[in-house]
Structure 1
Amino acid sequence: ITAQGKTNQFGRLEYAGCLRYKNVLECPQSALAIYLFERFQCANEPFPSFARREDWYRIYLLKHQDLGREVPVTYRMQYDNMCKVLDALHIQSSKKTHLNRGGGARRAEDNGASEAQIRRAGRWSVEKMQGCYLTGLPRESMRAMAGFSIHPGGFFLPRGTTTPSKSLQQQIFPGVDDILLQVETGKLERDLAAQGFLRLLQYLRVVLIQDAVVLRQSQPHMRFLAHPVFSSAEFGAFANEMKPALETPEKPISVAIVEALPELTNFLDTVQTNQIAQSQLAEHTNDRVEQLAALTQQAYVSLSGQIQAVAQKQVRVIVTVQHQSLPSSPPPTSGALVSSPPSSHAPISWISSSSAPPASAFTSSSNSTANPASPAIPSALLRL
């Protein structure tokens, strides 16, 4: 993570990364593992204390050679060391500290990386979208720099297929596991940076052991290989276990296809992506159909219950009968079959669930002063 690069015009954190290289002599991860191992186990530099942030935040990764680890390496020291390296390799160049920047871009181009990916890796002409929104690493350029195919799925490292035992790992950076556990459980100050650095050491010790097997064969004079860890019986057993993978590396079929037929690989990846999309669409459609079927079933059950309730429900009939007196009515004729008895204007009502009112269902009340002899015409109102 970088925050003060000269190409950082937007004041945000920027990320840089690298893969393990196919050639162990060029691998930056291997170089970092060897450097830290020599500092803490060969040169016997005290391992940092992680009890508090201030105990280790002032320690530099690239420290000053003479003034201690709390003073960073100077530009002059970097320049002098690069001159020594170039002289030892008989390389003539006007570039010294800036040599690898241009060389890395040309290497990525030779291995097939696109110009856009190289620009992202080197942060040349960073556009606003890349500077403000894209935080991912330029993986295509990283794969090209490591010596692998730029297409996804083409990374295969034979020396990384065999994992050393836990006891052998713990001989590199001993005590890291216990310190990490104390930081995670709060016995030491909780700090994400401390956890990240300690996990990095756990990863780098695996890298160091695997790469040491290869380097011991090709570069046996390297200083760190003189450490007792790499002459132990346990390391020798691991080297023998790893030997078949180095001599006859068997690439997975997927990696072989990527290297031999990259266009076919892209086509197969596209087909797989389309199949996944179609499968997800079909699952979504099935879910919607099931939801609609459930809603339809619920509506049918509810409607059936309502219809059944109406079919079983009794009809309530209310009949209201009113008698009205006529002011001047002639006497009843002989043809009258029924003569209404005197009554008041109060209504007579009945309630029944049958289709005809029973005789006993009528109730009446009399509050009128009308003439009892006056005939009346019944008027009935039927309400359901």
Structure 2
Amino acid sequence: MSGFGDTSGVTSEKGYNYQKLVAVYYLIANGVSEIEYEVDGEDISIINEGPDRNSIEYIQVKQLSTGSFSLGKFRADVFPQLWNAYITALEKHSDKAILSTLVTNVSWDNSLRRFYQNCNSLHEQGISFTQFEGSLKFCERDYKKMKNGREREELNRFFWGFNIQHSFTLEQIQSKIVESMNKSNVREPRTELAKIMQFFSEKQQGRITRRQIEQLIGKDLKPIVNNEENTSYSKPEIHKSLLDLETIKTKYGVKEDYSDKDDLIRNMVSPVRKASKRFIYHIDSLKGISDFPLEEIDEACDIISSDLNRVQVTASKIAELKNDLWLHETNYKHAIVSMQQTAAKFGIELGDVENES
């Protein structure tokens, strides 16, 4: 007996326990409906299609006994396999977001961490691919080997969808799977997990669905939610909710009329532009008649010009944000008004609340 219960038949594939657990984790704890499970040498790849069918994720699982995962190791041992899967996916799923993920039990070293952070900036911050490549001076040799012979646009799309889950230990995965099964009210989850591991060992590769796992253990893997909130409410409670809506509508809804963006930018920038012209005129007029060096005067004029440019750029952004805020506050207020009107149609009115209070 092990931590899984009776794992006979599983221990003979001891080297695959970690990889198989990751696959089980995706189906049970991560809630995906199906995966494509492929054994390749000592590695296991998982293909996971997003629930809305608009993305597909290729997951390479790597277990190391010691050390940390370096960028060099990623480039040599992981990138080629993920890239091949990615290129194949481009032919079959060009309309989908294609994601590539490395899952490993060890931590990443500084080179891989920095490289991933730059990849993440492509996805989260929307930096250009030129900016991305410009930030890779620290790993130029490894990146050149990954880039060699590959199309720029394809590289951009690949690294946009690249992700790493590091330090994801076997014990952590076991714990998350068991926790998820407990939430679904599965009896003896570790014993049931042993059955699932055995199933993966026998299956070896191919499509495996969450429904197959549910049938194997005879239990739906949907969390049992204990709803402690009352399901019946008194009239005062219902009317109080209406009063609460009025309060938050006043507090968070739109408070001012729409302000034209161009007018707002003009009002924010014009006085600054006028001031900058006058300041520069005065400072420039000091040339030859003051103790200030010419270089210092020129530098001061440049600073003022730079500040003016910054004001113009920032004012444009502020106007855009204010416009967006006005639209969101208006939508927020309209949604609450609509809810109040619907409630009033069925006899729940604000006047009743005020009378009761």
TM-score scaled to structure 1, two decimals? 0.21
The one of the two structures with greater contact order (alpha-carbon pairs below 8 A, sep at least 6) is 2
Higher helix share: 2
TM-score scaled to structure 2, two decimals? 0.22
Bigger Cα Rg: 1
